[in-house]
Amino acid sequence: MAVFKISIFLFLLFGYIVSCSDVVQEDPKSNVNTYYKKGLYWLDAGKPDSSFYYFEKAKEQFLIVKDSFNIARSLINMGINQYDLGDFFGAQETSLEASKYLNSQNIAHSVLLCNLYNTIANAADEMQQYNQAIPYYSLAIQYATNRDHTLMCENNLAVCLRNAKRYDESIKLSEEILAKTPKGSKDYAKFLNNLAKTKWTADHAYNPTPAYHTALNIRLKENDLWGQNSSFATLSKYFEGRDMDSSIYYLSKQYDIAKKINSADDQLNALRGLVQSSSEYSQRYLKTYLTLNDSIQNARTAAKNQFALIRYESEKSKAQNLKLEKENEKKESHLIIQRIGIGFLLFSIVLGVFWYKKRKQRLELEAQNKIKENQLHLSKKIHDVVANGIYRVMTEIEYKEDIDREGVLDKLDDMYQKSRDISHDVEEQTLTEVPFSEKLADLLKSFASDHRRVLIAGNEEDLWARLSKRAKEEVTHVLQELMVNMKKHSQADQVVIRFEKQGNQSEIFYQDNGIGLAHSKTYGKGLSNMVSRIEGIGGEIIFVREEGKGLSVKINIPIL
């Protein structure tokens, strides 16, 4: 019934807006945009959620050109969509928002003011806030611009007065409405039916059936399905408790008509009456009633959430657009500064590349000289230790008739150990010759690839100057373990390792954009080894678990 109460009013309102070209032409910017047309299309097609979406889009376009008249029109239609899907509170909020864009002194805005106040009142009536609805119906009547609008709003007010149990006022107003309506018309049938229902509600001794049947006959003649639905509902209610067979008959008729007009609320009301009428009909219709009731509730809940989401996304988009506008203004005002900055940056990059190449050439030359020096030193040591030792053993074997086998083996083993010591010394020298920061950088960069970036910041040699040899080794092992785990498991395409010195501590920050570490996952052997290594040098390692958002690790190492 709520949908029927507003549908005729909408039809009349739409016809008025379309026909009154002088109103639309009042503002040259009030051309209906594409979004608004789509909103009307989906409203007529019975798709309130789609209609709401396009009216919201239309409103945003009208806001850009500051077209207050069409902003209000879009908001009013959005309120109607919310009302149709049972979001009565939302319908009131949206309609009240529309009122901010209208001028009560402008006659061209009267039809919209009439509409929005009628929607607010209808929503309050549906929420049984009758005393709040009555003043808004009065405002709707005040701004009604023609006879049809006035009668429609007055009839809604009469129904609300009946719901508020102000029967005398309702009967008086209904009789005045009926007297101004041509007999035999659809409106006459509706007003007559409402008047009879009010009289019977006020006094059950009154017999409304003659008036009910008169209204029904008119509606049958005019093929007014919505009107027939209303007549069957009032007749079934009247016969409830008086003549159950008649009540069931009219409930069944209402149910059939409600399905034709696709009115879920009226289907539900008819099914409720049938279920409560007898055990036979309860068994037949209870499952259908419960299924339909759940479906309606779920649909309305989903619609409310959808309306809220559409409004949220719209406001979010608006905020982002405002932010972009401010950013563009700043960009324009700082364009010259940016160009100077870019030029300076390019110059710095060229200078930096030149310095880096020169430094790299110098380091490579020094490294080559150092390698040659080490090779010379190594060859001397091999000659002095290994070659001479082997020569002595060969001499002993050559000139002694009785060979001491055990002694020879001992001497050969001694030379073997000395050769291992030489190899170890060479490795130690090689390691100490390469700066630790470069060694660490080479290790980390080795995990980079075409589809994975490894970014390093703050890896300066000064950071490691006061760190012990063992601490450097442990840091190397831990970072290597992190990078291996990243490559194997994280699916990351970007890794950032940042080094900082804070007081007497060196801090290492690791971050990737992979799948992260699940909260439910316990430390494996690799992670446990990392913790024990860092804690073994008096440090601390912290894993930030954010499954699906990458892995973050912070390492603190004391500087002794």
User: What's the pLDDT tens digit per position in 218-259?
Assistant: 999 999 999 999 998 999 888 888 888 888 898 889 889 988
Query: What confidence tens digit (pLDDT) does each residue in 121-167 have?
Result: 999 998 999 999 999 999 999 999 888 889 999 999 999 999 999 99
Hey, what's the torsion of the CAs at 62, 63, 67, 72, to 10 degrees?
80
Cβ burial, residue 503 (10 Å; 0-12/13-18/19+): exposed
Looking at domain 436-558, which CATH architecture does it have? 2-Layer Sandwich (3.30)
Beta-bridged to residue 557, according to DSSP, are 506
Distance (Å, rounded) from C-alpha 243 to C-alpha 250?
11
Choose among 198, 207, 253, 262: nearest CA to 231.
Answer: 253
Instruction: Tell me the pLDDT of the chain averaged across its residues.
Output: 81
pLDDT at 491 over 50: yes
CATH node for 1-145: 1.25.40.10
Residue with tokens 């909260």: 519
pLDDT in tens, 324-376: 666 666 777 777 887 888 888 888 898 888 888 888 788 878 877 777 777 65
Chain position carrying tokens 């060979």:
403
271 residue type, one letter: L
Cα–Cα dist 558/504, whole Å? 6
pLDDT digits (tens, 9 = 90+) for 416-450: 766 766 666 655 554 456 788 898 898 888 888 88
Torsion of CA 405, 409, 415, 416, to 10 degrees: 150
pLDDT tens for 364-404 read 788 777 777 776 566 655 655 565 567 556 755 765 566 66
Cα gap 305→313, rounded to integer Å? 12
DSSP tally for the chain: helices H, then strands E: 23, 5
Residue with tokens 């190899």: 423
CA 280 to CA 123: how far, in whole Å? 36
Per-domain residue ranges of the chain: 1-145, 224-309, 337-433, 436-558
Q: Nearest to residue 193, comparing CAs of 227, 224, 166?
A: 227
The vertex-405 CA angle with 404 and 406, nearest 5°, equals: 95
Question: Which stretches does DSSP call E strand in 352-425?
Answer: none
pLDDT score recorded for residue 13: 46
Confidence at residue 187, expressed as pLDDT on a 0 to 100 scale: 92
Q: Say if residues 58 and 39 touch (Cβ distance below 8 Å).
A: yes
Exposure string over 158-187, b if 16+ CB within 10 A, otherwise e: bbbbbbbebeeebbebbeebbeebeeeebb
The topology under which CATH files domain 224-309 is 1.25.40
Residue 22 binned pLDDT confidence (cut-offs 50, 70, 90) = very low
Same CATH topology for 1-145 and 224-309: the answer is yes
